[in-house]
A and B are shown apart, each in its own frame.
Chain A
Amino acid sequence: MDYATILQILDSAVRLMTPLLLACLAGLYSERAGVFDIGLEGKMLMAAFSAAATAAVTGSVWLGLVAGVLSAVAMSLIHGLAAITFRGNQLISGVAINFLASGLTMLLGQSWFGLGGRTPSLEGAARFSPVTLPGTEALSGIPVLGPFYAEVVSGHTALVYVAALLVPGTWWLLYRTRFGLRLRAVGENPASVDTAGVSVPRLRWAAVAICGVLTGLAGAYLATGLSAGFVKEMTAGRGYIALAALIFANWRPWRALGATFLFGLMEAVANRYPELDLGFVTIPSMVMSALPYLLTVIILAGFIGRATPPRAGGEPYVKER
């Protein structure tokens, strides 16, 4: 394997990491506030469809992005209504949202475009185009660093950089602001937040809304950045892998970056080498594609590290009377 191949794989890993990272951070906000969200998959799918459909009709990727975010936020509102307002089962609500998105995207896609659930292929202004970062030219003469900067760091679409910036942004918001402190507290011990005179439902609604916006970005990137249009079930379990990454990251932003990059890298390697030959043994593609799920189970079982979820996660808060 030469340097150029490694760079190509890393480049592809960064692209594949981005939707996972956005969805993982989305889940982080929601779950840190005590609202479990297994509906990340559905929100991403809905956003991917809305973004691709809007971009295909209007020809503008930015309008697509807005539509994607709005649709994911709408799904989030359903989840908030069930989880916060009506104190329902958050897991069941997440399952329902996944099916709702799966059904609606296929139903609407088929009846609007008649392409078997696909949207028309996007091109030109209907897709995100790569951004060349400043300094690519200047660094191009340097042997190892130059190609690395040009191939892996520069040349991605805008949402990749947005996702990367969201990692320090989330860290700062969670650990350096009053809002972040309250958000974390509401996921650990909502009663104490309530006693301090801060509204538990309002904080949770804020977290659920942020979660909607981020899954919206993730879905829009999937359909208009990573690929050129929507294909049915195109999230293909990414919402669940993001959830796995969130557990792997122990609900922390920087570790989320590491975990999603690892899962992105695994996908990139699996795409490039369907049958990975390690010399002494050939790993079948099935193992490569199953690896994120297997890792999650092993992590959950506590054999590598220890997953400590937010303590009040999944429980609706009932004010004492």
Chain B
Amino acid sequence: MTRLPRWADLVLVPLISLALAFAISALVILSIGQNPVEALKVMVTGALGSSYGWGYTLYYATNFIFTGLAVAVAAHAGLFNIGAEGQASLGGLGVALVALALPWPHWGVALPVAMVGAALFGAMWAFIPAILQAKRGSHIVITTIMFNFLAAALLNWLLVNVLRPPGSMDPASARFPESTQLPRLTDMAAAVGIEWGKSTPANISFLIALAACVLVWLLIWRTPLGYEIRAFGRSERAALYAGIRPARIIVIAMMISGGLAGLMAINNVMGEAGRLLLNSAEGAGFIGIAVALMGRNHPVGIVLAALLFGFLYQGGAELALWTSIPRELIVVIQALVILFTGALDNMVRMPLGRLFGAR
């Protein structure tokens, strides 16, 4: 097969995949008797037409940047981490334990400790599948799927039996102290005299997510460890020959991946809910798969793809509010994006290869 030029590989292939996903989604909307153009208008106005919409879009995008990075780091090591959902839930547990442990004087003190808690719990949840893959050869895809279910069962039990404050009927933890409330982007904008995104949950975690992108870029492309991860991901045998220890790389890459997924919790648990709820990750771990595939496992691509999915999420909510199209349309679009960018990649690539080869 002809090798595609770099720009086609990085820009054209994802865009064509996206166009295909949208075209099929439009057909689905038509088939339930709705107007796809109207739907798109509602989504764009709702998600991008006001600073309120942007506030939500950025909030969702923050979640997806973390989980997208998580899936991408594992993918560089040739590992498919479907467990970001469970790792993000465990990260929520880490955040909750930290936030409820002490009467924190200021969010600035609580946040770094909460980040450590979130990353540690997420990494621990990825550690077991990783060590089983490294030492016992258990397929990481199956074990991480199983660990998603185990995480759900564990959190369900903890929230009902341990973390639920006495007298409360909700399966949720107690409220975190006021002082752990992270500054929202709207407050930060107000501080410099701009009115932006009133009553939206976007918070300082968005900036931390962007910083995480830079750190992941540095790690993967500018450190010896990153080189080892990529070498191992390309060819296990070659990496072994070069003196790279497979077990070490599998465990380290998966723990970084799990830690990044866990870090998502500072956004949704600490920044938004202010307490640990049941099913706190709400599928963001799975969206990370679509984001990483679409963003070609590169931080810049991941930010763009996360923004796209943030837009879809917020737009989908608006869609359910103003039209009779259910918000589950987003799940369909997400599935189609995964299908075209991940599984049917060659279907898009083969004709393009012929096109470029013919010249």
Give the interface of A toward B (CB within 8 A). 38, 78, 81-83, 86-93, 95-100, 102-104, 106-108, 110-112, 237, 240, 243-244, 247, 284, 286-287, 289-290, 293-294, 296-297, 300-302, 307, 309
CB contacts between A and B, total, < 8 Å: 151
Q: Does B149 contact A (CB under 8 A)?
A: yes
In the bound complex, CA of A315 to CA of B272 (Å): 43
Q: Which residue of the partner chain, among A88, A237, A302, contacts B345 with CB atoms under 8 Å? A: A88
A112 to B138, CA, bound (A): 43
CB of B82 closer than 8 Å to a CB of A: yes
- Asked if residues A107 and B138 are in contact (CB atoms below 8 Å), the reply is no
Minimum distance in angstroms from B42 CB to a CB of chain A: 16
Contact between A91 and B141, CB atoms less than 8 A apart:
yes
Q: Is the interface of B mostly helix, strand, loop or mixed?
A: helix
- Closest residue to B153 on the A side, CB-wise? A290
Q: Can you list 10 pairs linking A and B with CB atoms under 8 Å apart?
A: A82-B339, A82-B343, A91-B141, A92-B339, A103-B328, A111-B33, A284-B157, A294-B146, A300-B136, A301-B136
What residues of B have a CB within 8 angstroms of the CB of A293 in the complex? 146-147, 149-150, 153
B217 on the A face (CB < 8 A): no
Residues of A contacting B344 in the complex (Cβ-Cβ under 8 angstroms) = 81-82, 86, 88, 93
The docked-state distance in angstroms from the alpha carbon of A111 to that of B150 is 33
Instruction: Tell whether A99 pairs with B157 under 8 Å between CB atoms, given A300-B139, A302-B137.
Output: no
Whether A78 contacts B339 in the complex (CB less than 8 A), given A111-B32, A111-B325, A290-B150, comes out as yes
Contact B136 A302, beta carbon cutoff 8 Å: yes
Partner among B138, B147, B343, B346 whose Cβ is within 8 Å of the Cβ of A92? B343
- Looking at B132, B332, B336, the one whose CB has the most chain A CB atoms below 10 A away is B332
Nearest-Cβ distance from residue A92 to partner chain B, whole angstroms = 4
Chain B, interface size category, equals 35 or more
Residues of A within 8 A of B34 (CB): 111
Instruction: Pick the contact of B145: A108, A240, A289, A301 (CB < 8 A).
Output: A240
Contact A88–B346 (Cβ < 8 Å)? yes
How many angstroms from the CA of A16 to the CA of B129 in the assembled complex?
Answer: 29
A87: chain B residues at CB < 8 Å are: 346
A240 and B153 in contact (CB under 8 A), knowing A96-B335, A104-B332, A107-B332?
A: no
Cβ of A301 and Cβ of B153 under 8 Å apart?
Answer: no
Please determine whether B336 and A110 come into contact, CB atoms closer than 8 angstroms: no
**CB-based contact B149/A111 at 8 Å:** no
Question: Shortest distance in angstroms between B67's beta carbon and chain A's nearest beta carbon?
Answer: 14
8 extra interface residue pairs, beta carbon distance < 8 Å, beyond A92-B289, A93-B343, A98-B335: A83-B343, A89-B80, A107-B328, A240-B145, A290-B149, A293-B153, A294-B150, A297-B146
In the complex, are the beta carbons of B336 and A96 less than 8 A apart?
yes
Chain B window 319-359, contacts with chain A (Cβ cutoff 8 Å), 1 for yes, 0 for no: 00000111011111111101100111111001000000000
Q: Smallest Cβ distance from A311 to chain B, in angstroms?
A: 13
Expressed in whole angstroms, the minimum distance between the Cβ of B16 and any Cβ of chain A is 14
Q: How far is the CA of A112 from the CA of B136 in the complex (A)?
A: 48
Expressed in whole angstroms, the minimum distance between the Cβ of B197 and any Cβ of chain A is 29
Closest A residue to B146 by CB, please name it: A293
Partner of A102 from the list B139, B147, B331 (CB cut-off 8 Å) is B331
Could you say which residues of chain A place their CB within 8 Å of the CB of B338? Answer: 92, 95-96, 99
Q: Assuming A99-B331, A106-B328, A301-B138, is B145 touching A38 (CB within 8 A)?
A: yes
With A88-B342, A92-B343, A103-B335 known as contacts, the answer to whether A286 contacts B157 (CB < 8 A) is yes
* Smallest CB gap from B347: residue in A: A86
Q: Residues of B contacting A244 with CB < 8 Å?
A: 142, 146
Q: Which residues of A contact B137 (CB under 8 A)?
A: 302
Bound: A107/B25 CA distance, A: 11
Is B161 an interface residue, CB under 8 A from the partner?
yes
Shortest distance between the CB of B18 and any CB in chain A (Å): 14
Q: Are A300 and B342 in contact (CB under 8 A)?
A: no
B293 at the interface (CB under 8 A from A): yes
Tell me whether B326 and A106 are in contact (CB under 8 A). Answer: yes
Q: Nearest Cβ distance between residue A239 and chain B, in whole angstroms?
A: 10
A132 to B262, CA, bound (A): 53
Give the residue of B142, B293, B333 whose beta carbon is less than 8 angstroms from that of A247. Answer: B142
Query: Min CB distance, A284 to chain B, in Å?
Result: 6
